[in-house]
Amino acid sequence: MQDKTAFVLIVKKNEGLIYKITRVYTDTQEDQKDLYQEIVYQLWKSFDSFKGNSKISTWIYRIALNTAIGYLNKSKKKVSQVSLDFELLNPADESDTVTEERLAILYNMIKQLNIIEKGLILLLLEGKSYDEIAVITGFSSSNVGTRLSRIKKKLKENIKNI
Amino acid sequence: MKTLWQEMSERIEKQKQLTDTLIMDMTQQKYTQKFNKITTYESIGAVICFIAAILILSNFEKLDTWYMTACGIFTVGYLLTLPILVLRSLKTIRGINISTASYKESIIGFAKAKNQLLLIQKLGIYVNFILFLAIIPVSSKLMGDKDIFMLGGSVWKYGFIAIIAIVMIFVSRWGYRCYKNITNSAENILKELED
């Protein structure tokens, strides 16, 4: 019971983070909801093994990103399944079409990146330091830096082409 | 980009959509779906192959000539080996521990397992042709006790075999192209990780 209460609190506190990851790795709202559910399930499954050796956010990022990679590998032959009906968070006010458009462009640009780049840029945008990104992704800090500067260059070129 | 991302993060932090019940329902529903997924296409296919192999083995004495025995051995070998290899690759994919593996390790794990699976499926495309040639005499001998090699050929029989062979060539060529594209993208990711 203690575990269940703690788990629910952690998910509630991090629902925005899960939303952002699911949006980057899926193309439709249906897939986004399904991946959201899958991440919550994987977090629940691994919750007992979380020893607190790392920060809770590091643990969540790791599981959520790994689940997203697995989801990309499975989604093409997904068996038909019904996801729970729930409302996804709304990143822009309905009246604020400019922000909505800018966000759509931003997400599209990230979606065009390959799977390695997607994870790295997402963590950078989340305000993680190179060292934290290194812990979550398994790359060395210097490698994270090199890769990120390449990604930034690529994104700049993509922006120019819009 | 960072400013826009931060703005969005702040906005969604203020919203709360999930309730306690919904969160626990999510875990419960996915748990049930995991059990349902045991009946995947691969598992059903493997069971069908194993049953067919057992049927051939239990009637193996009916394959009384050397060429029938050769066809029988090949068919049984195929029906037992290929599904085991496919299921083993799928087990590797499921075996990736997402709670302890880093992002890099997961990508490598999935890409390697995918390559392995695609290699088996690619191999399957070619071996299917031989299976097609071997399974016809075996099944006609076991089901109708007829030696297809000794029977005179009718236009219908050869026409049927030719049509099936042509369909198989087209399906295989299409399948091979699809597999090639997916394998290339998995290999590119692995190459990029070596940088």
Per-residue confidence (pLDDT) for residue B163, from 0 to 100: 87
Torsion, Cα A52 A54 A60 A64, to 10 degrees, reads: -120
Are B134 and B74 contacting, i.e. CB atoms less than 8 angstroms apart? yes
DSSP A48: G
Residues of A in contact with B116 (CB under 8 A): none
Question: Which B residues in the span 87-116 are in contact with A, Cβ-Cβ below 8 Å?
Answer: 93, 96, 98-107, 110, 114
Per-residue confidence (pLDDT) for residue B32, from 0 to 100: 62
Return the residue of A nearest to B39 by Cα. Answer: A79
Q: Do B26 and A88 touch (CB under 8 A)?
A: no
Same domain, A150 and A96: yes
pLDDT bin (cut points 50, 70, 90) of residue A80 is: very low
ipTM for the predicted complex comes to 0.80
Same domain, A76 and A131: no
Q: Do A116 and B18 touch (CB under 8 A)?
A: no
| Least CB–CB distance from B29: residue in A37, A62, A88 | A37
Return the residue of B nearest to A65 by Cα. Answer: B103
Q: Do B7 and A99 touch (CB under 8 A)?
A: yes
Sequential pLDDT tens for chain B (195 residues): 888 888 888 888 887 777 888 888 887 776 666 555 544 677 888 899 999 999 999 999 988 899 999 999 999 999 999 888 878 877 777 777 777 888 898 888 888 887 887 788 778 777 887 888 888 889 888 888 878 777 766 777 778 778 888 887 887 777 777 767 766 777 777 777 776
Best of A40, A56, A128, A147 to mutate (most B CBs within 10 Å, chain B)? A40
CATH number of residue A27's parent domain: 1.10.1740.10
First-residue to last-residue Cα distance in chain A = 52
Same domain, A64 and A98: no
CATH number of residue A161's parent domain: 1.10.10
Same domain, A85 and A133: no
The model's pLDDT over A100-136, given as tens digits with 9 standing for 90+, comes to 888 888 899 999 999 999 999 999 999 999 999 999 9
| B4 interfacial to chain A (CB closer than 8 Å) | yes
Please identify, among A74, A89, A104, the residue that sits at the C-terminal boundary of a domain.
A89
Per-residue confidence (pLDDT) for residue B24, from 0 to 100: 82
Alpha-carbon distance B43 to nearest alpha carbon in chain A (angstroms): 13
| B169 interfacial to chain A (CB closer than 8 Å) | no
Alpha-carbon distance B126 to nearest alpha carbon in chain A (angstroms): 23
Alpha-carbon distance A27 to nearest alpha carbon in chain B (angstroms): 19
Same domain, A2 and A81: yes
Domain count, chain A: 2
Same domain, A55 and A5: yes
Model's pTM, two decimal places? 0.75
Q: Do B104 and A4 touch (CB under 8 A)?
A: no
Per-residue confidence (pLDDT) for residue B33, from 0 to 100: 62
Per-residue confidence (pLDDT) for residue A144, from 0 to 100: 95
Same domain, A39 and A97: no
Q: Do B8 and A139 touch (CB under 8 A)?
A: no
- The tokens of B51 are what? 């049953």
Mean pLDDT of A2-30: 89
Query: CA torsion sign, A155 to A158 to A160 to B4?
Result: negative
Query: DSSP letters along B53-87, please?
Result: HHHHHHTGGG--SHHHHHHHHHHHHHHHHHHHHHH
Alpha-carbon B55 to chain mean position = 22
Q: Do B18 and A12 touch (CB under 8 A)?
A: yes
State percent of chain B over pLDDT 90. Answer: 15
Best of B20, B26, B29 to mutate (most A CBs within 10 Å, chain A)? B26
Q: Do A8 and B23 touch (CB under 8 A)?
A: yes
| B18 interfacial to chain A (CB closer than 8 Å) | yes
Please identify, among A59, A89, A119, the residue that sits at the C-terminal boundary of a domain.
A89
Residues of A in contact with B105 (CB under 8 A): 138
Mean pLDDT of A40-63: 86
Please identify, among A89, A107, A122, the residue that sits at the C-terminal boundary of a domain.
A89
Per-residue confidence (pLDDT) for residue B152, from 0 to 100: 66
Q: d(Cα B72, Cα B177) in Å, to the nearest integer?
A: 31
- Domain of residue A138 covers 92-162
Same domain, A16 and A83: yes
